[in-house]
Amino acid sequence: MSEKEKIKKIYQKKIQSLIKLNKAYFQKDNPIIADSEYDELKKELSSYIEKYPYLKQIKNLDTIVGSKPSKKFKKIKHTKPMLSLSNAFEKNDMIDFKKKIKNFLNVPTELELSSEPKIDGISASLRYENGKFTYGLSRGDGLFGEDITANLATIEEIPKNIPSAPNVLEVRGEVYIGKKDFEKIKDKFANPRNAAGGSLRQKDSKETKKIPLKFFAYGIGEISSSIFKKQSELLSQLKNWGFPINSKCTVIKTIDEIQDNHRELESLRSNLDYDVDGIVYKINNITFQERLGSTSNSPRWAIAYKFSSSKASSKIKDIVIQVGRTGAITPVAKIDPVTVGGVVISNATLHNEDEINRKDIRVGDIVKIQRAGDVIPQVLSVDKSKRLKTSKKFIFPNKCLCGFPIKKEISMTTKKTDAVRRCSRGYDCDFTAKEKLKHIVAKDSLDIEGLGKKVIDNFWDLNLVRTPADIFRLNYKKIEGLEGWGKLSVKNLKNAISNSKKIVLNRFIYSIGIRHIGQENAKILAGFFKTHKKFSELFNLKKRRYILTNLYDLDGIGETQVKSIEDFFSNQKNTDIIQSLMNSLNIEDFQIINKKGKLSNKNIMFTGGFNKMSRSEAKALAEENGAKILGSVSKKLNYLVVGNSKPTKRKIEKAKELNINLLSEEKWYDLLNR
Ligand code: IVH
């Protein structure tokens, strides 16, 4: 090899590692080496080019989006949270979405929907004051965004001055990179979305400017004077103000139209210059949007109907079982690896025993696999014509991986046998315990970055963690020596763990993973307990009994939840584990947002259906006016609002016995409007 060739080779190798490091940082937000080492490598590459200019022809260093983006963007609170969307995958999900909304609003007619392609990019919020672009934020965690103003300002499609805008205007939309533009830089990023995200998070906006980013507006945040009655009008106004609006946005109504629309855009998809991963449907009427409001994560008035992603065929090599954090047993098909939508798949979920029986899925079968977005790939159907005569029906195991018998339970609400089998040993089952740990460190729980599922598996195998409290006494010396870990990543992990110690009560309650206690129920419980001290009373048998009877008063907490809490805390191992975890944490009191209103300090309960709105909306309205909604009739109740349609007699009688004010629907509106 000539000297020149040798140098070329070294240069190429170094360039490859720079690209790898960029990927680790931009896409995974997980730097492999220290900043100083990174800078060293860049310097070295520059000096190579200076010395041997011919290297530029191989790869010009300048074209590599290289200068390290800083993680230290200023954080700014969103004036209105940037929520995410719930997903629909099939027609039935859309039917459900429409039905729920009709029930909530209690309206008889079909509602108009604004249909908008779901651009697969990075969302951003742009703030204009007196018509001038003042700052722009990334979504961040939805409550706080990163100040990426300088980078957003490099996007030509984003107007910088809007003379006719209201005094305060916040425009929300998606930053993306065109597929053609992506072609030019594709060796540096896995896909266009990552390219857009990476460029937006560059510290040096000159680097961002080199990437042709684009923008589609789809909504607003704060606005000083709102004049819109419909989402579709809002889109037209945004267009008039100079924002790009996707040309495929339309207004439709029926399920058939939704399905046609879906098929149409899906067929156009590959010809568009941007990635779309579905269609966002929004209730077009803004008053209805306001009445519907949001749950903790997503608005009730919108949904993302994802495209049914790619399908592929493969052979089932084996069927194994997996244990979830609640002990639920899920059968999983191990298949011959196959690429579905660009990702290699070797496992697919079979959901439960009934599903296997219904589809008669067997080991050795050739099956059709589907992968939709970030959900687990699933087995759609079996090609029975390819089945061997010798194939045998799959017999579902009757033991958990831990060896304990697994049973189907009878649901308390439906009184039917569950489709799912469970291992009921909780922390005593190693397989369940490991999943519980994964839940505790996850984003909605303690949110420990760097401690993902794979890391938990690894740490578990090495006996570094067994219970949640072990997370706070990790052997970092040992971790530092593990493959894939270094000084910097251990330091990051240490920081993330230390930061996770401060946690609000509702998040804590959710994170300990009591069955049937999701984020919403955890909030209701936190509102009841208020402090971790009070919550700790659940550890005491006598106090627990008393608390449990009181929990029935909470709206949203029923027999299923109370029984589940009782089971959880009657287990000595659970209480030991949770007490020990609590000792490692700094649990903050639940912040009661004391809504001051006409109904402050009033306890209300609703029974029966109403004429003008649904019970859910009535409850939401009462809460907005400061009231607390109770779930059972007790002395604490101030009003029982009785609707026309099928109110519960027992509740009315009990309320009368206790001398509680009974209100008709009309009287209830009077009370609100007083
Ligand atoms: S509306 C509260 N409309 O999808 C409403 N989102 O999974 C929230 N997205 O974070 C967003 N196109 O980044 C909306 N036409 C569209 C959208 C859209 C793409 C993205 C957005 C959001 C994510 C939600």
The CATH number of whichever domain residue 328 belongs to comes to: 2.40.50.140
Pocket test for ligand 1, best of 280, 282, 292, 295 (most atoms within 8 A of CB): 280
Does residue 63 lie within any of the structural domains?
A: no
Active site residue 118: yes
Residue 647 lies in a domain: yes
For residue 473, is it within any domain? no
Domain that includes residue 508, residue range: 503-588
Measured from the Cβ of residue 314, the count of other Cβ atoms closer than 10 Å reads 22
Per residue in 275-307, pLDDT tens?
898 999 999 999 999 999 987 778 999 999 988
Q: What is the pLDDT of residue 344?
A: 77
Query: Are 102 and 243 within one domain?
Result: yes
Tokens (6 digits) for 95: 């039917």
299 and 293 Cβ atoms separated by less than 8 Å = yes
Sign of CA dihedral 175, 81, 283, 267: positive
Q: Of the candidates 561, 610, 616, 649, which has an alpha carbon nearest to the alpha carbon of residue 553?
A: 561
Both tokens of 118, joined, read: 């779901």
CA of 82 to the centre of ligand 1 (A): 9
Domain count for the chain, please give it. 4
- Residues 364, 388: contact at Cβ < 8 Å? yes
3: Cβ contacts below 8 Å, ≥ 6 apart: none
Same-domain status, 272 and 392:
no
Burial 639-660 (b: 16+ CB within 10 A, else e): bbbbbeeebeeebbebbeeeeb
Is the domain of 258 the same as that of 397?
no
Which of 410, 413, 404, 455 lies closest to 434 in space, CA to CA? 455
Q: Cβ contacts of residue 258 below 8 Å, gap of 6+?
A: 91, 94, 113, 115, 252, 281, 305
Centre of ligand 1 from the C-alpha of residue 656, in Å: 49
Considering 405, 422, 445, which residue would you say is the last residue of a domain? 445
> Is position 470 within any domain?
no
- Statement to judge: residues 360 and 507 lie in one domain: no
Domain-embedded: residue 123: yes
The C-alpha atoms of residue 304 and residue 115 are separated, in whole angstroms, by 10
Q: Are residues 540 and 658 in the same domain?
A: no
Nearest residue by C-alpha to atom 21 in ligand 1: 123
Q: Mark which of 445, 460, 484 sits at the end of a domain.
A: 445
Regarding whether 180 and 276 lie in a shared domain, the answer is yes
Closest CA to 443 of 506, 525, 505, 511: 511
In which residue ranges of the chain is pLDDT below 50?
29, 65-70
Q: How many CA atoms lie within 13 A of 113 on its CB side?
A: 28
User: What region, left, alpha or beta, does residue 608 occupy, with left being phi > 0 and alpha being psi -120 to 50 degrees?
Assistant: left
Best substitution site from 118, 172, 176, 250 to test ligand 1's pocket, by max atoms within 8 Å of Cβ? 118
- Of 249, 270, 296, which residue sits at a domain end? 296
Is the model's pTM score more than 0.75? Answer: no
CATH number at residue 639: 3.40.50.10190
CB 152 within 8 A of CB 126: yes
Q: Are residues 288 and 316 in the same domain?
A: no
Atom of ligand 1 nearest to the CA of 118: 12
Task: Please tell me whether residues 235 and 279 are part of one structural domain.
Answer: yes
CA-closest residue to ligand 1 atom 22: 84
Atom 13 in ligand 1: which residue has the minimum CA distance? 123
pLDDT in the model for residue 594: 62
- 118 C-alpha vs ligand 1 centroid, how far in Å? 7
Task: Tell me how far the alpha carbon of residue 52 lies from the centroid of ligand 1, in angstroms.
Answer: 48
Nearest to 347 by CA among 333, 361, 327, 364: 333
| CA atoms of 519 and 298, how far apart (whole Å) | 13
Closest ligand 1 atom, CA of 121?
A: 13
Closest CA to 356 of 326, 410, 348: 348
For residue 553, the domain's CATH number is 1.10.150.20
Same domain? 155 vs 266 = yes
Q: Where are the beta strands (DSSP E) in 189-328?
A: 213-223, 250-252, 276-283, 302-306, 311-323
Is 52 inside any structural domain?
no
The pLDDT of residue 69: 43
pLDDT at 68: 41
Q: Which of 98, 118, 282, 434 is catalytic?
A: 118
Q: How many CB atoms lie within 10 A of CB 541?
A: 9
Whether residues 441 and 545 share a domain: the answer is no
> Rounded distance, CA 580 to CA 467, Å?
9
H helices of 88-241, where? 91-105, 149-153, 179-184, 192-200, 205-209, 231-240
Residue 167's CATH number: 3.30.470.30
Q: Classify residue 355 by burial, with Cβ atoms within 10 Å: 0-12, 13-18, 19+.
A: middle
For a substitution probing ligand 1, which of 83, 123, 138, 283 has the most ligand atoms within 8 Å of its CB? 123
Say yes or no: 134 and 9 in one domain: no
Q: Is residue 178 domain-shared with residue 253, that is, in the same domain? A: yes
Q: Tokens representing 268?
A: 């156009």
Q: Whose CA is nearest to atom 3 of ligand 1?
A: 218
In a domain, 344, yes or no: yes
Domain assignment present for residue 495? The answer is no
With H, G, I as helix, E, B as strand and everything else as coil, classify residue 450: coil
Q: Who lines ligand 1 at CB under 6 A? A: 83-85, 116, 118-119, 123, 139, 174, 218-219, 280, 299, 302, 304
Half-sphere exposure of 634 (CA within 13 A, CB side): 13
From ligand 1's centre to the CA of 246, what distance in Å?
Answer: 13
